[in-house]
């Protein structure tokens, strides 16, 4: 039977996005006595058979960062373990939805990989994925009903990564979104080009920004949790120290007077 207590649910496209974007808020909610759950979308093992050259190149970097050679299924399992360790730092629970990452997904008409370059994964969601959007939306709606009273936070898809687009579109199809979160570090990379008016709209209505102030404890917990994703750090930073500095700098830039994360609320 669903609990009557409010649960804060964060939809994460990959095994790190919610922590990168909302780690301070998650820890703050838990520290205040609330329940927080991170639902990660793309957590499945790669399909059997050879990977595309693009996927192979990413796996080579991830295994190097992890400090040991891993097969593709071992790498996926290691990333799931990283997520459990990161969320333990924040006191949050994990749900893994077992959808393949975009670099593994195949076009059902041709059986060829859908996304085989950086340009592709930051382009438009392939038309062949509309069925997947609906399938994820149905799964998400069923899952959310099991939590009873909840606030659902979903990515704005800043940066335009196709898996972030998938997560946002599926959540909008399922409905019941409490707020959108800014996809870090893509929002930091956008600089003065953010906020993007086209992404801070929902169903043709503007979203309203809201700041979630962070304490030093919140920031410290967030940095520690991000550090648990060892295989992914080099995607954005040269070292853990560089990550720490960048995360704190962006929180201060966002909050102005005090560190903060920003969410965007639908109009009432």
Whether pLDDT at 66 is above 80: no
Phi first, then psi, for residue 62 (nearest 5°) are -65, -40
The whole-number pLDDT of residue 3 equals 54
Mean pLDDT computed over 99-116: 95
Instruction: Give tens-digit pLDDT for 187-196.
Output: 999 998 999 8
pTM for this prediction: 0.96
Whether pLDDT at 268 is above 70: no
Mean pLDDT computed over 6-29: 98
Q: What is the 3-state secondary structure (H, E, C) of 182-206?
A: CCCCHHHHHHHHCCCCCCCEECCEE
The whole-number pLDDT of residue 70 equals 87
The whole-number pLDDT of residue 68 equals 73
Contact yes or no for 177/152 (Cβ under 8 A): yes
- Residue 4 pLDDT grade (very low, low, confident, very high; cuts 50, 70, 90): low
Contact yes or no for 41/13 (Cβ under 8 A): yes
- Residue 25 pLDDT grade (very low, low, confident, very high; cuts 50, 70, 90): very high
- Residue 99 pLDDT grade (very low, low, confident, very high; cuts 50, 70, 90): very high
- What is the residue-averaged pLDDT of the chain? 94
The whole-number pLDDT of residue 257 equals 83
Q: What is the chain's length? A: 268
Distances (CA, A) of 129 to 57, 126, 266: 24, 6, 26
Written out in words, the top-level CATH class of the domain with range 7-265 is alpha beta
CB contact burial 175-204 (16+ within 10 A = b; e otherwise):
eebebbbbbbbbbbebeeebbeeebbebee
Whether pLDDT at 255 is above 70: yes
Pairing status of strand 177-181 against strand 150-155: parallel
Q: What is the dihedral of CA 158, 241, 210, 94, to 10 degrees?
A: 80
Whether pLDDT at 185 is above 80: yes
Whether pLDDT at 81 is above 70: yes
Which of 21-35, 53-67, 123-137, 183-197 is least confident?
53-67
Q: How do the domains of the chain map onto residue ranges?
A: 7-265
The whole-number pLDDT of residue 19 equals 98
- CA dist., res. 130 & res. 162, Å (int): 12
The whole-number pLDDT of residue 1 equals 43
Whether pLDDT at 128 is above 60: yes
Whether pLDDT at 226 is above 60: yes
Mean pLDDT computed over 44-55: 92
């Amino acid at each position: 039977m669903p609990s009557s207590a409010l649960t804060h649910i964060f939809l994460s496209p990959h095994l790190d996005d919610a922590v990168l974007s909302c780690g301070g808020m998650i820890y703050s909610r838990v520290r205040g006595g609330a329940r927080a759950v991170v639902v990660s979308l793309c957590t499945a093992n790669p399909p059997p058979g050879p990977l595309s050259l693009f996927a192979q190149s990413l796996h080579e970097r991830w295994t190097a960062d992890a400090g040991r050679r891993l097969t593709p299924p071992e790498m996926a399992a290691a990333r799931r373990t990283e997520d459990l360790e990161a969320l333990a730092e924040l006191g949050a629970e994990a749900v893994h939805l077992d959808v393949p990452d975009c670099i593994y997904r195949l076009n059902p008409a041709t059986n060829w990989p859908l996304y085989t370059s950086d340009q592709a994964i930051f382009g438009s969601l392939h038309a062949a994925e509309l069925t997947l959007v609906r399938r994820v939306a149905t799964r998400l709606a069923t899952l959310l009903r099991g939590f009873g009273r909840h606030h659902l936070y979903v990515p704005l898809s800043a940066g335009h990564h196709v898996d972030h687009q998938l997560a946002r579109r599926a959540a909008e199809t399922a409905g019941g979104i409490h707020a959108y979160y800014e996809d870090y570090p893509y929002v930091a990379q956008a600089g003065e080009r953010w906020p993007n008016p086209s992404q801070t709209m929902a169903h043709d209505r503007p979203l309203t920004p809201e700041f979630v102030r962070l304490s030093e404890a919140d920031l410290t917990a967030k940095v520690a949790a991000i550090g648990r994703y060892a295989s992914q750090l080099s995607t954005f930073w040269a070292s853990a120290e560089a990550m720490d500095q960048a995360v704190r700098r962006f929180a201060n830039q966002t909050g102005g007077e005090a560190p903060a994360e920003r969410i965007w609320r639908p109009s009432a």
